[in-house]
Structure 1
Amino acid sequence: MKLIPIYRINTYVVPESLDRVIEGVLSVDGLIYGNYKNVAWHSNDGIEQFVPSENSVPTEGSIGERKQVTSFKIEFSIPRDKNLLSKVIEEGIYPNHPWDEPVVQVTEEYETRKHG
C-alpha cells in the first residue's frame, strides 16, 4: 500500500452542465487513480442557494433576490501539483461552468494505492 499526496477538488454545477464541466477537467487531466482513468464522482439533486450581489453577472436569478437551483456536486482528485491545480481550475472548470463565480473547494489529502 502507498499513500499518495493529492488535491481533492469539489465543485457544484447545474445538471445540464455536469458533462461539460467533467469533460473540461478531463481535457486538462486524465483523472487517473491507480489502474483507472476518468475517475470522478457526482451526486444527484442537491439544492444550491445564493443571492446575486450588485457586482455579479448571474446566469440564474436576479440581483438582490435569493435563488435556489438543483445542483450536483462533482468530486475528483489530482496529484498535488500547484501548476496542475491552477490549470484544472482555470482551463477545465471555469470556462465550462455556467456560474459567474463557481464554488470550487480544494483540500490537501492523501489517497491509497493498493497497486503500484
Structure 2
Amino acid sequence: MKLVPIYRIHTYVVPESLDRVLEGVLHVDDLIYGNYKNVAWHSNDGIEQFVPSKNSMPTEGDIGERKQVTSFKLEFSIPRDKHLLLKVIEEGIYPNHPWDEPVVQVTEAFETRKHG
C-alpha cells in the first residue's frame, strides 16, 4: 500500500449539466485511480442557495433575490499538480458549468493505492 498526494475537487452543479461538466473534466484528465479511469462521485438532490449580486450574470434567479435550486455535488481527484489543477478548472469545469461563478473547492489530501 502507498499514499499518493492528490487534489480533491468538489463542485456543485444542476442535474441537467452534470454530464457536460464531467465530460469537460474528462477531456482534460482521465481521472485515474489505481487501475481504473474516469473515477468520479456525485451525490443526488442537494439544495444550492444563493443571492445574485448586482455584478453577477445569473443563469437562474434574479439579482437581489434568494434562489434555491436542486444541485448535485460532483467530486473527483487528480494528482497534486498545480498546472493540471488549473487546467481542469479553467478548461474542464468553467466552460461547461452553467453558473456565472461555479463553486469549486479544492483540498490537498492523500489517497491510498493498494496496488503499485
TM-score by length of 2: 1.00
Partner of 2:39: 39
**How high is the sequence identity, in percent, across the aligned residues?**
89
Give SS of 1:33's match. Answer: coil
Distance 2:29 2:101 in 1: 22
Amino acid of the structure 2 residue aligned with 1:113: R
Q: CA deviation at 1:4?
A: 0.1
Work out the CA distance in 1 between the residues paired with 2:18 and 2:44: 10
TM-score for both structures, normalised by structure 1:
1.00
Partner of 1:53: 53
Give the Cα separation in 1 of the matches to 2:88 and 2:2. Answer: 24
> d(CA) in 2 for partners of 1:2 and 1:23?
29
In 2: Cα distance, 1:50 partner to 1:18 partner? 19
Aligned to 1:21: 21
Please list every run of 5 or more consecutive structure 1 residues that lacks an aligned counterpart in the other structure.
none
Quote how far apart the aligned CAs of 1:10 are: 0.1
Root-mean-square deviation (CA, aligned residues, Å) is 0.2
Q: Which amino acid aligns with 2:30?
A: G
Equivalent in the alignment of 1:2: 2
> For 2:31, what is the secondary structure of its paired residue?
coil
Mapped to 2, the partners of 1:19 and 1:33 lie a distance apart of 19
